[in-house]
């Protein structure tokens, strides 16, 4: 059966009657049903409106600990080449700056004129010493023969003197002659030893001259690239001034990077690095070779030496920036804006079922706008994206997941 529509003028009366439980039997059934429908469809003005707060999801991602440093390119090892002999003029140069040389390669040639004369003199002295030895040996043989004969005469004369056949004076003379001959043998031996010493001296002098002649060729002590040349033709060679050449051993270069005092303890040899400089199209790969053990007292900076794998795009003295990878691992990460600090330590506001709660956490690596959380959270947790928001533990909120918080 179709219900009749209630009179609009009767609706306030029906609502009041329903509110106070008053029975209106005189009203039509249709009016009562309309009043009940109006009561059920009236809006609930007492329901609270929850604030919309941005939250971020705790996700697992690769976290990289980067240390930014900068400095100048320098040689890993510079070898200075100086002349090994003094006082000889430079006659020829056979290498220039930028040349790659090998160990033992001739770089410059010094004059040999004076040394050639000394060598001739040394050869003559050597021949004279050998002749002196031959003469000394002959004198020794002669002295030994004379001494042997004198000893035999002395022995015979002594026997004859004992038998009374020869005067005692003759026996004494024969004995004296034997003693004198023995002394001449000793003198001949000393003379021979002196001649042999002269020969050794002459040989040593000749070897020294030959050594100096070989050193008139200035050779590269190591393989590498020549980065400086101070030698000039006609100049007198000396080791007291600037080196003739400077060689970068094996052409190896490194970045001597200045590192903040707070970062230096995070570095260690073997860590990878990426180098960028003016004019470089792509970053160059490098490796931390050495972390110097001291901090500059004035600048409060430490220094790390980063070996460069490919040095073709680098020059000594270039200014280069480096990004050193101190650590890299997979872990939980949240926006750094979600981190708060208070008397309890490092805290985060976590949201569970719309209810805000404060959690104490332990943080690790900071990577750009994200920070690692090592303790206190689990994957999938929701945290208030900004710790400074007007939200307190115990508040109920309407969480709104921010974009870009998931991997």
Query: Any idea which of 62-76, 167-181, 256-270, 288-302 has the lowest mean pLDDT?
Result: 167-181
Mean pLDDT, range 98-113, rounded to an integer: 94
Report yes or no: 319 and 360 within 8 Å, Cβ to Cβ: no
Distance CA 231, CA 141 (A): 58
Mean pLDDT, range 166-173, rounded to an integer: 81
Cβ-based neighbour number of residue 138 at 10 Å: 12
The predicted structure's pLDDT at residue 51: 85
- Give the pLDDT band of residue 89 (cuts 50, 70, 90): very high
Distance CA 364, CA 64 (A): 10
Number of H helices, E strands in the chain: 5, 21
Mean pLDDT, range 227-243, rounded to an integer: 91
The number of CA neighbours under 13 Å toward the Cβ of 401 is: 10
Report yes or no: 377 and 331 within 8 Å, Cβ to Cβ: no
Distance CA 215, CA 210 (A): 9
pLDDT tens for each residue of 351-374: 998 899 999 999 998 888 899 999
- State CA 105 to chain mean position distance: 29
- Give the pLDDT band of residue 37 (cuts 50, 70, 90): low
Mean pLDDT, range 163-187, rounded to an integer: 84
pTM over 0.75: no
- Give the pLDDT band of residue 161 (cuts 50, 70, 90): confident
Comparing 99 with 34, which gets the higher pLDDT? 99
The predicted structure's pLDDT at residue 36: 54
Q: What are the residues whose beta carbons fall under 8 Å from the beta carbon of 94, sequence distance 6 or more? A: 106, 107, 108, 109
Distance CA 227, CA 220 (A): 13
pLDDT tens for each residue of 380-402: 999 998 876 678 888 888 888 88
Cβ-based neighbour number of residue 397 at 10 Å: 19
Does 281 score more than 90 pLDDT?
no
Cβ-based neighbour number of residue 122 at 10 Å: 20
């Amino acid at each position: 059966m179709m219900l009749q529509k209630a009179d609009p003028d009767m609706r306030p009366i029906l609502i009041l009657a329903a509110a106070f439980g008053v029975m209106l039997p005189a009203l039509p059934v249709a009016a009562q049903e309309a009043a009940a429908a109006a009561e059920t469809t009236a809006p609930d003005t007492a329901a609270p409106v929850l604030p919309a707060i941005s939250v971020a999801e705790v996700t697992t991602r690769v976290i990289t600990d980067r240390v930014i440093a900068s400095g100048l390119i320098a040689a890993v090892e510079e070898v200075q080449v100086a002349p090994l002999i003094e006082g000889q003029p430079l006659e020829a140069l056979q290498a220039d700056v930028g040349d790659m040389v090998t160990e033992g390669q001739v770089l410059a040639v010094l004059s040999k004129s004076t040394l050639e004369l000394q060598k001739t003199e040394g050869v003559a002295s050597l021949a004279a010493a050998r002749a002196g030895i031959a003469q000394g040996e002959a004198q020794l043989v002669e002295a030994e023969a004379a001494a042997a004969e004198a000893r035999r005469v002395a022995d015979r004369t002594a026997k004859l003197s004992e038998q009374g056949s020869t005067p005692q004076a003759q026996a004494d003379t024969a004995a004296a002659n034997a003693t004198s001959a023995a002394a001449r043998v000793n003198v001949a031996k000393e003379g021979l030893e002196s001649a042999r010493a002269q020969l050794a001296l002459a040989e040593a002098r000749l070897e020294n001259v030959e050594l100096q002649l070989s050193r008139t060729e200035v050779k590269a002590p190591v393989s590498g690239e020549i980065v400086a040349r101070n030698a000039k033709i006609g100049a007198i060679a000396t080791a007291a001034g600037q080196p003739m050449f400077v060689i970068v051993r094996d052409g190896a270069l490194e970045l001597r990077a200045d590192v903040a005092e707070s970062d230096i303890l995070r570095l260690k040899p073997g860590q990878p690095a990426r180098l960028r400089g003016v004019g470089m199209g792509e970053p160059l790969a490098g490796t931390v070779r050495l972390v110097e053990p001291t901090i500059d007292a004035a600048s409060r900076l430490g220094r790390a030496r980063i070996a460069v794998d490919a040095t073709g795009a680098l020059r000594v003295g270039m200014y280069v920036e480096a990004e050193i990878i101190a650590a890299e691992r997979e872990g939980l990460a949240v926006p750094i804006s979600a981190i708060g600090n208070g008397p309890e330590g490092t805290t985060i506001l976590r949201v569970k079922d719309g209810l805000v709660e404060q959690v104490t956490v332990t943080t690790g690596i900071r990577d750009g706008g994200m920070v690692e959380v090592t303790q206190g959270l689990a994957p999938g947790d929701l945290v208030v994206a900004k710790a400074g928001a007007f939200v307190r533990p115990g508040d109920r909120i309407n969480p709104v997941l921010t974009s870009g918080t998931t991997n």
